[in-house]
A and B are shown apart, each in its own frame.
Chain A
Amino acid sequence: MSMRRTVATWTTAVLAAATLASCAESERDDSGSGGGGDDGTFVFGAAGAPEMFDPFYATDGETFRVTRQMFEGLLGVEPGSAEVVPELATEWTPNEDGTEWTFTLRDDVTFHDGEPFNAEAVCYNFERMFDQNDAGQVAGEYWGYVMGAFSNDAESSLYQGCEATDEFEAVISISGPTSGFPTMLTLESLSMQSPKALEEGDANGIAAEGEGFSFPDYANAPVGTGPFSFGEYDEANGSITLERNDDYWGETAKVSEIVFRVIPDESTRRQELEAGSINGYDLPNPVDWAALEEDGNTVEVRDAFNILYLGLNPEANPQLEDLRVRKAIYHALNREQLVQTQLPEGAEVATQFMPSTVSGYNTSLEPYAYDPDEAKRLLAEAGAEGMTLNFAYPTEVTRPYMPDPQKIYEALRTDLEAVGINVKVSTAAWNGGYLDNVSGEPGKYDAYILGWTGDYDSAYNFIGTFFGNLKDNDFGTDVMPWGKQLADDLKAADAIVDEDERGAAFEEINQQIMEEYLPGLPISHSPPALVVGPGVEGLIPSPLTAEEFDTVTVSGE
């Protein structure tokens, strides 16, 4: 390149830069630097970016973790447990048949935008959630899941209406009693949002566009009642800032600011914590727990509110229709060893399809013993020696109940092979066909690893989800003679109004499931952990993985 051309090139570049510079002014706000208020900033390493900020349409934990700090529901959960406690409603009472619920509301609450919180706001919210367009009905997944239907199919909906009977008293009618109501009002998706902001941001203006949904403005400018309000989402740098709500009705938050930093890679989150640039992250690798503690961090182990099970599908393999075969498989599994060697400390062998903290848990059930000889005997008796099992596990996923699916799979497979069962290895990515193969009708795998984390404290949320839908469940119970009976029993138990009676009914069903039906094999409950760095105090781990950060304090480096 000639000298002249070089000079010309550089001149052009400098000129271009100068032009850009002349129109690039610093837009820094001099009054308050970004350092947050005076009480410090709590920086949390998130594994993924939030989907949006309107919890009603949200579906994943990373989104809920952010919105939970800004929003509250009528009912809340006692920090550190799954127990339902008052939040925006102070009291709630059902009528006799459990179809009308009267909620007494707090009278000292305002939304972040200054709007008052009252019975009208409550009913506005419920009507807003109920009245969704076509796209909204699919995107408003949690409502669909707990309420069953939307306004265009009002009769099938659990929700029947909301009436503001007084300024601070609202009555919600439902189609029939269920164990899920009003507990489901603790769901993050059903939080109370500012009617004015909802209206102005056209919150229900969701539309299907191409293969996705386009969300209205409101989804990025949420207004709630919680201890923190929305600050900003710096997408280019992957950070979300929430600011303390100084007018909070309860005790105001201890830190003036929360920042969520998106750090997709697990080992990077750990390194960020070690370098002191974040104050905590969720689901540390169990392998790291000890080392993290040694370095002065605190690993908070939550109570397990989940279940890992080995699903069996007689539709895919008719040999599994024989109870003896299913029992044989159960006896073949050395779950004690699995829990001790491959799952995080604190994991427990499961005796039924729900954790012990849920009402309806049957304490009299004992775990099936590890007994390979019994397994072989049962297989022989059923004429299923040397049977082949198409056994699958998912890749590209970790869940609180299965930190490492492949490890769990390997352990179970070794056990099965030890009693003479031929295992055909199947695998697929979680979003790459695994769930489709499991939930398809009929499912494609004979046996598969799956689990569930409870949404709220309800037996039906566990076993009802698994077996309550006869036609469309992962266990193929519709080909079993008892399948319909089980589904009916579950629905009947769920509709019992009296809590103790309901609990007893679920206990009985749990016993039946484990002793007579055994549609799948509950394996274990694993405690998910959360880690915070030195100087962080006051974080209360929640079994629902629903931590609220308003009690957290961060002392200087």
Chain B
Amino acid sequence: MLRFVVRRLLQMAGVLLVLSLLVFVWLRSLPGGPVSALLGERQTEERREALQAALGLDQPLPIQYVRFMQRAFEGDFGVSTQVLPGEDALDIFLARLPATIELSFFALVIAIALGIPLGYVAARRKGTPMDTSLVISSLVGVAVPVFFTAFLLKYFFAVEWNLLPVSGRQSIGLDATRVTGLFVLDGILTREWDAAWDALKHLVLPSLALATIPFAVVFRITRASVLDVLDEDYVRTAEAKGLTARVIRARHVLRNAMLPVVTTIGLQVGALLSGAVLTETVFSWRGVGQALAEGFLQKDYPVLQVLIMAAAAIYVLVNLLVDITYALIDPRIRTR
């Protein structure tokens, strides 16, 4: 197990190094750049060149990359040009991370809490109108763009019925104490119950919007996987032995059907990260996704570099964790 983990970690480091080069070259080969974002209509050839020289962007790419790597090895990933000018890009990522973790976590909880039971029900009633309508509605969730879903959620729950806040992470003027940056947890830890409750209310709509795609995936995988398992000999044997439906469900079907579902959940981290870009923007959620969107718009190279690399690292790391979990759940892998 340990060797497996170490090898995977080494592989991961190699992949990330190659990726850093790709991201670096890619960003700089995109047309435009931070200079336009800074100068706007006042941009002239002369001012552009002066600013590029000051930012070191006039140097040949290999030199820029070497400089970047030298600084990166000292732990300096550059400072933001536009997202939060002057702030260390890594600090921006760290400051934004809790917001995204909080949002993704709740979205994942919603996706799992709805996806697994509904997937199970759909599989047990395969071919019935209920199954068909569940399949169709999960598909509709995927096909509707997030901005549309988000708009409707905000329109009804926040504007029309006034049940929940429209956007943001916490009401202003609460003067909440910050500990971890996970606002709900902070409120609980410091026993500022009103702050925790307020943060939780802010979480509902964005995590629902973000959950649509992972929900659809979890639902479909659960359904497919339960169908597979129901067909297995041991389930039939169990049925033949006269075990109660409950025992079969708990001991055989669900447990065996969970393997692919666990893997899928790990893979959803990627979907959550890409979904967060849009969701965070439309919900004014100050997370990594919003910083990424803003960075793209304003061509903030240092911030983009750090965020993309960090997202990739997280993605790979989570998948490693999934593999380990997998090995833990499935004894066959461990003994092999």
- Seen from chain A, the residues whose Cβ lies within 8 Å of a Cβ on chain B are 1, 17, 20-21, 24-29, 33-36, 41, 43, 48-49, 51-52, 59-60, 134-135, 138, 141, 144-145, 208-215, 219, 235-239, 241, 259, 261-265, 267-268, 271-272, 274-275, 277, 396, 428-436, 439-441, 450-453, 465, 469, 472-473
A28 touches B175 (CB 8 A): yes
**Contact flag A212-B168 (CB < 8 Å), given A34-B175, A145-B42:** no
A472 touches B284 (CB 8 A): no
A235 touches B85 (CB 8 A): no
**Choice from B99, B170, B190, B302 contacting A25 with Cβ under 8 Å:** B190
**Contact flag A268-B45 (CB < 8 Å), given A208-B56, A262-B286:** no
B282 smallest CB distance to A (angstroms): 5
B66 is an interface residue with CB less than 8 A from chain A:
no
- Chain B contacts for A435, CB-based, 8 A: 32, 36, 39-41, 43
Closest 9 CB pairs of A and B: A433-B31, A210-B78, A215-B86, A34-B175, A34-B173, A432-B32, A212-B79, A24-B189, A138-B54
Q: How many Å lie between the Cα of A51 and that of B84 in the bound state?
A: 6
Q: How many Å lie between the Cα of A428 and that of B299 in the bound state?
A: 14
**Contact flag A263-B167 (CB < 8 Å), given A24-B179, A24-B190, A212-B79:** yes
- Chain B contacts for A264, CB-based, 8 A: 281, 284, 290, 293-294
A1 touches B328 (CB 8 A): yes
B284 touches A265 (CB 8 A): yes
B301 smallest CB distance to A (angstroms): 5
**Choice from B155, B281, B328 contacting A265 with Cβ under 8 Å:** B281
B143 is an interface residue with CB less than 8 A from chain A:
no
B302 touches A439 (CB 8 A): no
Q: Chain A: which residue is nearest B68 at the CB level? A: A210
- Chain B contacts for A263, CB-based, 8 A: 167-168, 284
- Chain B contacts for A135, CB-based, 8 A: 54
- Chain A contacts for B47, CB-based, 8 A: 144
Query: Which B residues between 18 and 49 are near A, CB-CB below 8 angstroms?
Result: 30-48
A211 touches B302 (CB 8 A): yes
A205 smallest CB distance to B (angstroms): 11
Q: How many Å lie between the Cα of A275 and that of B298 in the bound state?
A: 30
- Chain A contacts for B281, CB-based, 8 A: 264-265
B45 touches A441 (CB 8 A): yes
- Seen from chain B, the residues whose Cβ lies within 8 Å of a Cβ on chain A are 30-48, 50-51, 54-57, 67-68, 71, 76-86, 95, 98-99, 151, 154-155, 158-159, 162, 165-181, 186, 188-192, 281-284, 286, 290, 293-294, 297-302, 328-329
Q: Chain A: which residue is nearest B81 at the CB level? A: A212
Q: Chain B: which residue is nearest A268 at the CB level? A: B167
Q: How many Å lie between the Cα of A24 and that of B190 in the bound state?
A: 6
B154 touches A271 (CB 8 A): yes
- Chain A contacts for B189, CB-based, 8 A: 17, 20-21, 24
Q: How many Å lie between the Cα of A271 and that of B159 in the bound state?
A: 6
Q: Chain A: which residue is nearest B67 at the CB level? A: A210
Q: Chain A: which residue is nearest B175 at the CB level? A: A34
A197 smallest CB distance to B (angstroms): 17
A208 touches B44 (CB 8 A): no
Q: Chain A: which residue is nearest B283 at the CB level? A: A268
Q: Chain B: which residue is nearest A208 at the CB level? A: B54
A209 smallest CB distance to B (angstroms): 5
Q: How many Å lie between the Cα of A435 and that of B36 in the bound state?
A: 6
A274 touches B159 (CB 8 A): yes
**Choice from B45, B98, B173, B282 contacting A33 with Cβ under 8 Å:** B173
Most buried by A among B41, B176, B178, B181: B41
- Chain B contacts for A28, CB-based, 8 A: 175-177, 192
Q: Chain A: which residue is nearest B34 at the CB level? A: A211
A429 touches B32 (CB 8 A): yes
- Chain A contacts for B328, CB-based, 8 A: 1
**Contact flag A452-B76 (CB < 8 Å), given A28-B192, A211-B56, A429-B32:** no
Most buried by B among A210, A236, A262: A210
- Beyond the given A262-B286, A277-B171, please list 15 additional residue pairs across the A-B interface where CB-CB is below 8 A: A26-B190, A33-B173, A51-B82, A51-B84, A210-B56, A210-B77, A211-B81, A213-B79, A236-B169, A236-B286, A238-B168, A264-B281, A268-B283, A436-B35, A450-B41
A305 smallest CB distance to B (angstroms): 14
A209 touches B78 (CB 8 A): yes
Q: How many Å lie between the Cα of A59 and that of B302 in the bound state?
A: 19
Q: Chain B: which residue is nearest A433 at the CB level? A: B31
Q: How many Å lie between the Cα of A455 and that of B158 in the bound state?
A: 39
Query: Can you pick out 15 interface pairs between chain A and chain B where the beta carbons lie within 8 Å of each other?
Result: A20-B180, A24-B177, A41-B173, A43-B172, A49-B83, A60-B40, A141-B39, A210-B71, A210-B302, A212-B81, A215-B85, A264-B284, A274-B159, A275-B159, A432-B36
- Chain A contacts for B33, CB-based, 8 A: 431, 436
Q: How many Å lie between the Cα of A211 and that of B76 in the bound state?
A: 12
B81 touches A472 (CB 8 A): no
**Choice from A262, A277, A432 contacting B31 with Cβ under 8 Å:** A432
B172 touches A34 (CB 8 A): yes
**Contact flag A25-B177 (CB < 8 Å), given A208-B54, A236-B286, A469-B44:** yes
**Choice from B40, B173, B177, B181 contacting A36 with Cβ under 8 Å:** B173
Q: How many Å lie between the Cα of A277 and that of B284 in the bound state?
A: 13
**Choice from B34, B81, B188, B286 contacting A235 with Cβ under 8 Å:** B286
**Contact flag A1-B329 (CB < 8 Å), given A236-B181, A265-B282:** yes
B43 touches A439 (CB 8 A): yes
B38 touches A212 (CB 8 A): no
Q: How many Å lie between the Cα of A48 and that of B329 in the bound state?
A: 46
Q: Chain B: which residue is nearest A432 at the CB level? A: B32
B167 touches A24 (CB 8 A): no
A472 smallest CB distance to B (angstroms): 5
**Choice from A24, A267, A469 contacting B186 with Cβ under 8 Å:** A24
- Chain B contacts for A212, CB-based, 8 A: 34, 55, 78-81, 85-86, 300, 302
Q: How many Å lie between the Cα of A59 and that of B81 in the bound state?
A: 12
